[in-house]
Structure 1
Amino acid sequence: MSFGGHHTRKRFGQHWLTDAGVLERIVAAAELQPGERVLEVGPGRGALTERLLATGLAELHAIELDRDLVAGLRRQFAGDERFQLLEGDVLRLDLPPADKVVANIPYNITGPLLERLVGRLDRPLASPYQRLVLLVQQEVGERIRAVAGSSAFSALSVRLQLLAHCRSVCAVPPRCFQPPPKVMSEVIVLDPLPPSERLEPQLAGRLEGLLKRCFASRRKMLRNSLAGLWPEEELSERAQRAGVSLRQRPQDLSPQRWVELTRQLCPTPQSPRVSSPPIPEQTAHG
C-alpha cells in the first residue's frame, strides 16, 4: 500500500470505509455503464476507487483535500490513465464533467456539498448528474427520504424530494469504518429529476420562502406560521384549495402539497389570481 505512516485527521472528518460488502453495494448502486465518467469525492486511501476502476468506466475524477493522501493515491493509481486526481476543497474547486457521483461525504460539510452536487430548489444544476450514490450520516439520510408526518420529515426532505428521487441502499454501522465514527451511517441514492420535471424558478423561490418561514417554527400550526400573509378567512380558503388544513404543522405536508400551497398563497405575477404580499425573509433553516 502507498499510505504508510499516514494518520487520520479529525479536522477532515476522516473515517475509512473498510467493509468490503458495503463497498461492493456502493458500486452496484451506481449501476455504471461502459463509457461513463464518474466523480468520486473523498477517495481517501483508494478502497472504493479501486473497485470503481474495475467496472470499466471511461474516466474517474477524484477530489481529495488531504495532500498526504493525494501523494499516496497518485502512486497507487499511476498506471491507470482513466484516473484523474484533483487536490483541493470540493466546495471551492471547479468540478470536472461527470455522468455520476460517488461520494463518502465528510459529515461536517454535508449541507453545502449536497447543494453543490444537486443544487437548490430555486437554483438547480443546469445539467444534473444522472445519479449520486452518497455515504452520509444516517440521520441525514433519514431526513432526505422521510415521508410527510414522520418525525424526520423536514424542509430538507421537501427540497431534496422535489429535486431528485431518493432511496436508501443500506445502513452502515460504525464497525465498518476505521476509525469507527460515533454515529450510524447510510448509503443513499439520489436520481436528480430532469429539467422538464423541475419547478419553474419563480415558483421554486416562493416555495423556498414558505419553507423557511414555516419550518423555522415546526411545532406551530400553519395557522400561526402563516398569520398575516393573507386575511384570516382568505388564508383559510386558499389553504383549503390546496388541500391543506391550517391546523396541520409543516411536517404534515407532502412535497407536492407544499407546491400546491405555494401556488395558492404566493401566485406568480402571470397568474390570474390576485398577487400575494411578499414573504418576509427568514434566516432559520428547517
Structure 2
Amino acid sequence: MPVTLLGASEIRSLAADLDVTPTKKLGQNFVVDANTVRKIVQAARVQAGERVVEIGPGLGSLTLAILETGASVTAVEIDHRLAARLPLTAERHGVEPGMLAVVDADALRVTELPGDPRVLVANLPYNVSVPVLLHFLETFPDLERGVVMVQAEVGERLAAAPGSKIYGSPSVKAAWYGRWRLAGTVSRQVFWPVPNVDSVLVGFERDAEPRGDDDLRRRTFSVVDAAFGQRRKMLRQAVAPLFGGTAATSSAALEAVGIDPTLRGEQLTIDDFVRLAASVH
C-alpha cells in the first residue's frame, strides 16, 4: 500500500480534532500543499532506505512526503498533542510499522536520536531556526546533508558569501560545518495560516573533514560574535577584548595570521576566523 499525503481539508480537520490552533509562539505554519512538501524532499535528494530526522513535523504533511520515498523518519516534535497523533496519522496513510519514530521533545534540548539519521529535512519555526540548526549540526556529526525551509531573510543569511551586506554571524557559524546554498523559494499561499513573511529552502552539505575540535569551534564562534557584535567597527577594535584589550595588541594578532586589521568582520571567510581563533590564548 503506497503512502498517501495529507490534503488541505484533512490538515484542518486534524487540527480541529486535536484542538490545535497554529501559534506564533511555536512558529507553527502548516504546509497544506502536497507539491510543496514533495519539492522539499526532492531538493534534499532523499533516497529509499535513508534515515531522515525531521524537526517540527506538526500534523505530518512533510513527514508523509519523506516516508513516501521509502526513507524512514525520526520526527522531533515539541507539541505533545502533535507528537502523540503523528504515529496514527502515519498508519492511516499507509506507513509501514517501524518506519517512523517520534521524539516528544524540544529540539534545542535533544542530544540523542534513534536510528542514527544522516539527512535533516524540516520546516523550521522562524523564531528558532538558526539556534536549532546549529544545535543539531554540533550535536549530531553524522548528519551529512539536509534541506530546511526557513524565513527568506534567515535563509539568505545562512547562504550568504563574505562581502555581502547580509553576511553575518549565522553565515560564518553555519559555514563552520559545511557548504550552504539557496535551494528554492516557497509561496506564502501553501501555508495555513498564511504567514506575513516569505520562505526559502536552504540546503547544506557537511564538509568531509571537521575544521577542528569543540574547543576551536567555541573559540572561533567567540571571535565571530566579537567581530559582528560591532560590525561597523574595524576588526582591530571589534576583537580587541580577545587580544589584550587594545587596538595595538589586536592589530598585531591579526597581522600575525595574515589579516588586515582595518577590515570588518563581513569581509572575512570562515577560514580567516578559524586562523584568528587558533591564535587566541
Choose from 157, 161, 185 the match for 2:175.
161
Taking the aligned partners of 1:127 and 1:234, their CA distance within structure 2 comes to 36
The normalised TM-score by structure 2 is 0.81
Query: How far is 1:109 from its partner?
Result: 2.1
- Residue 3 of structure 1 corresponds to which residue in structure 2? 14
Question: For 1:96-151, what per-residue CA distance to the aligned partner results, in whole angstroms no more than 9, with x for missing partners?
Answer: 221212111112222331132111xxxxx463312121111111111111111111
The more displaced of 22-31 and 61-70 is 61-70
Amino acid of the residue matched to residue 20 of structure 1?
Answer: A
Query: How far is 1:12 from its partner?
Result: 2.2
Taking the aligned partners of 1:29 and 1:180, their CA distance within structure 2 comes to 23
* 8 Å contact kept, 1:3–1:69: no
- Residue 242 of structure 1 corresponds to which residue in structure 2? 257
Choose from 179, 199, 212 the match for 1:199.
212
- Residue 4 of structure 2 corresponds to which residue in structure 1? none
- Residue 101 of structure 2 corresponds to which residue in structure 1? 84
Name stretches of at least 5 consecutive residues in structure 1 with no aligned partner: 120-124, 267-275, 277-286
Query: How far is 1:34 from its partner?
Result: 2.9
- Residue 270 of structure 2 corresponds to which residue in structure 1? 255
Between the two proteins, the alignment pairs up a number of residues equal to 259
For the pair 1:208 / 2:227, whether they are aligned, the reply is no
* 8 Å contact kept, 2:240–2:249: no
Taking the aligned partners of 2:238 and 2:89, their CA distance within structure 1 comes to 56
Taking the aligned partners of 1:103 and 1:156, their CA distance within structure 2 comes to 18
* 8 Å contact kept, 1:3–1:72: no
Change (3 A) 1:4 1:112: closer
Name stretches of at least 5 consecutive residues in structure 2 with no aligned partner: 1-9
Taking the aligned partners of 1:88 and 1:203, their CA distance within structure 2 comes to 29
For the pair 1:135 / 2:152, whether they are aligned, the reply is no
Question: For 1:80-102, what per-residue CA distance to the aligned partner results, in whole angstroms no more than 9, with x for missing partners?
Answer: 21122233322334422212121
* 8 Å contact kept, 1:128–1:192: no
Percent identity (aligned): 32
The normalised TM-score by structure 1 is 0.80
Amino acid of the residue matched to residue 104 of structure 1?
Answer: N
* 8 Å contact kept, 1:8–1:15: no
- Residue 103 of structure 1 corresponds to which residue in structure 2? 122
Taking the aligned partners of 2:239 and 2:106, their CA distance within structure 1 comes to 40
Choose from 52, 55, 64 the match for 1:41.
55
For the pair 1:113 / 2:127, whether they are aligned, the reply is no
Taking the aligned partners of 2:153 and 2:200, their CA distance within structure 1 comes to 8
Amino acid of the residue matched to residue 209 of structure 1?
Answer: S
Query: How far is 1:41 from its partner?
Result: 1.6
- Residue 149 of structure 1 corresponds to which residue in structure 2? 163
* 8 Å contact kept, 1:101–1:129: yes
Change (3 A) 1:127 1:221: closer
Query: How far is 1:219 from its partner?
Result: 0.8
Query: How far is 1:187 from its partner?
Result: 1.0
The more displaced of 139-148 and 60-69 is 60-69
Change (3 A) 1:44 1:205: closer
Query: How far is 1:174 from its partner?
Result: 1.8
Change (3 A) 1:107 1:226: closer
Taking the aligned partners of 1:192 and 1:144, their CA distance within structure 2 comes to 14
3-state SS in 2 of match to 1:38: strand
